[in-house]
Amino acid sequence: MSTFKPLHDRVLVKRLPSEEKTAGGIIIPDSVQEKPQQGEVIAAGTGARRQDGSIDPIGVKVGDKILFGKYSGTEIKLQGTDYLIMKESDILGVLE
């Protein structure tokens, strides 16, 4: 298997599975479920390059659970698995 290393301030994210039930217990079919806005960081770049040439380190690490915007990132498929590539600025926060 080949490995993937994002460049600069980009991260590779795998979406976390969405809830299949509402709070009231109603089961939501796959056809109407929204794509989840939570994911796990699979790989991260080194960080953005500043004007003076130094590197501004990225604020997330592999394994972090994150929250991102609904239309963030670019969907790709690697080794048959769906991922998102997004800039660090598209990440809204880290779930703890």
**What pLDDT was estimated at residue 1?**
37
Whole-number pLDDT of residue 22: 54
Core vs surface per residue 27-42: b (16+ CB within 10 A) or e:
eeeeeeeeeebebebb
Give me the helices (H) in 1-96, please: none
Each residue's pLDDT, cut to its tens digit, for the chain (96 residues) gives 358 888 888 999 998 876 665 556 666 655 555 566 889 999 998 888 888 888 888 889 899 999 998 888 889 998 888 899 999 888 998 988
**All domains in the chain, ordered by first residue:** 10-16+34-95 (2.30.33.40)
How confident is the model at residue 27, as a pLDDT?
63
| Structure token pair of residue 15 | 């979406």
Q: Which residues pair with 13 in a beta bridge?
A: 41, 84
